[in-house]
Structure 1
């Protein structure tokens, strides 16, 4: 009887772990195969999106890669791509109901299942995949067009995405005085308090050199008007309000976790899968979660990469014995941020990383120079597999 490993989601966690399990687990057992369920047929290079949305910098083809082409190297007996998304998980039946892209539904029975469905941007902006490849590409085109037309651009949210994005806007526009770029931050400095102050001040300083205006300790609390004529209500931490006119408001905060298909008792209050340290779902030995979908670590790409390695290296043992070791959680902060096309900053543990190193490793190509192992199925952002 075939033992099927189902992987839900083909993002930066699900995509490489599917490759790993086909190559290193299914290939060694005659009765094991992998089924990858994804609403999109393209792997989306999220690391580059803050630059890819700037008109003229990157095309949608530069950040979108064919999933069928990547997995064509494997026989049908070992791998299947199912275009659709999970509609309902029935763990007591070891079955997931998939809503296929053609409008029909399919029940897939599994031996084990990995939930790698990630999260969507709450505002339906293309910081993450938005469903099908067509939907994501359309959103990229629309955002590029809006940016091109606007003269005053306000970015709400000073987390990693917001900081990298305004850096790109600054490099392209405000540095040269062609557009006004404003970052609204809810804290006194960009990034959150878990990041070293020296890194946060470096980000602030570099953005200001790009003529990005930073409005600190403030949130966008209301908007009036539409299109290129909006008035934003800004509320400071002390309660004072002010109005700001903008051609374009772009939120860079807020996630909605893609776990609504799971039984409510398996989720925490934020909608993330409750997990053991083994990455297994609490109370379910054959249900795993990784990346943003699981609650064992913060929703950061760095942690998802670690989950890929843990599951990949240990799944063969799990399939043979039913035992999965605990994931060794690295509590050190690792952050690498581009600040425009020529600068960067970052952190490893309690050390601030030299900005030129971030530019060299990430800023020149936004990681696209390291995309080949993903597509070949031989590695992920942390390196090649053995």
Structure 2
């Protein structure tokens, strides 16, 4: 009898699992649910907002193209917004244009990622509510970047560092680029922080520590006034926040979530409390041990394997992540900062491994299925 695996989310984790399952000869039907019609290489969005660097067609491809190589009866793509999951009936509610649809599952994978804090301006670091909105946001930010003389990037995590680096690489001698860090060190005190700070300063980025944004107000002249928690105010032509990412986990009851809203999973990446109900979660919606592309890849491969084991009546195994933790931040198009475990990576190594392309050359693997 055909087993239905519903995958919520068509990004790095969800599409990876879809390919891994559809390649099997098992009697499985995959239902991929995504709010966007396209797979989006958001990792390169920090460079794509710099005018003339990356054309939109290199950033995204239709999900329909990614799955068209498989028999039509083996999969379905639903473009819609995820509603509530009902573990008792093993159904999930999907809002599609004009109606709601209840979709039944035997196994469910939650790979819905995270989104930018809705209180800030729309930014393309993550997929917005549709492919069209994401493309529009990219183009709007490009125009704003071109026109601005002063730009403030808020948030000194990996995205904020890479964004400030890309802007400074292109405009560091002609525009004022400022990076605000809420704490006293970049990357929340990670050992990569000092190297990233040094690389940014070489590109003329002004770094302000202890500068946590409390609010942003658009002024009549189009500028933005920022209120900091320390009482200071700042005015800039363009404000680009990379803070306040929220997990897309509202489809589950709070019982299955952490205090910050992340889905809580066990070592096999089954949702805790739903271990016997065939519900799994991976990627940024879990952020275990943290959010990251390489981590999501390992989670996707492990969960696909565990679903196949479960459907064979076998016990799932612990998902194996990377043997050592790797953190790499590109800083512009010529350098970077990173570590492999506790070993520092030279800037040129980070550039070769990540900064040169920001991984865009791997996008075709998600379309032709070779990623899995």
User: What is the TM-score of this pair, normalised by structure 1?
Assistant: 0.90
The answer to whether the Cα contact below 8 Å between 1:279 and 1:296 also exists between their aligned partners in 2 is no
Counterparts of residues 257-336 of structure 1 (less than 5 Å): 257-284=247-274, 285=276, 286-294=278-286, 296-330=288-322, 332-336=324-328
Q: What residue is the counterpart of 2:8 in the other structure? A: 8
Counterparts of residues 33-48 of structure 1 (less than 5 Å): 33-48=29-44
> How much has 1:299 moved relative to structure 2?
2.2
Distance 1:296 1:58, change over 3 A: closer
Extract unaligned runs of 5+ from structure 1.
Answer: 380-384
CA distance in structure 1 between the aligned counterparts of 2:318 and 2:330, rounded to whole angstroms? 33
Q: Out of 77, 102, 107, which is 1:107 matched to? A: 102
Q: What residue is the counterpart of 1:200 in the other structure? A: 193
> How much has 1:182 moved relative to structure 2?
0.6
Query: Aligned-residue CA RMSD in angstroms?
Result: 1.7
Q: What residue is the counterpart of 1:150 in the other structure? A: 148
Tell me whether 1:160 sits opposite 2:158 in the alignment. Answer: yes
The answer to whether the Cα contact below 8 Å between 2:183 and 2:212 also exists between their aligned partners in 1 is no
The answer to whether the Cα contact below 8 Å between 2:110 and 2:282 also exists between their aligned partners in 1 is yes
Distance 1:225 1:294, change over 3 A: closer
Counterparts of residues 331-350 of structure 1 (less than 5 Å): 332-350=324-342
How many residues were matched structurally? Answer: 366
User: What is the TM-score of this pair, normalised by structure 2?
Assistant: 0.94
The answer to whether the Cα contact below 8 Å between 2:299 and 2:321 also exists between their aligned partners in 1 is no
Distance 1:228 1:178, change over 3 A: farther
SS in 2 for 1:358: helix
Distance 1:224 1:279, change over 3 A: closer
Distance 1:279 1:342, change over 3 A: same
Q: What residue is the counterpart of 1:382 in the other structure? A: none
| The 10-residue stretch of structure 1 (289-298 or 165-174) with the greater mean CA deviation from structure 2 | 289-298
Counterparts of residues 1-386 of structure 1 (less than 5 Å): 1-24=1-24, 28-29=25-26, 31-100=27-96, 102-122=97-117, 123=120, 124-174=122-172, 177-193=173-189, 195-196=190-191, 199-226=192-219, 228-235=222-229, 239=230, 241-284=231-274, 285=276, 286-294=278-286, 296-330=288-322, 332-379=324-371, 385=372
The answer to whether the Cα contact below 8 Å between 1:20 and 1:378 also exists between their aligned partners in 2 is no
> How much has 1:188 moved relative to structure 2?
2.7
Extract unaligned runs of 5+ from structure 2.
Answer: none
Q: Deviations over 1:148-172 (max 9, x none)?
A: 1111101111100000000001011
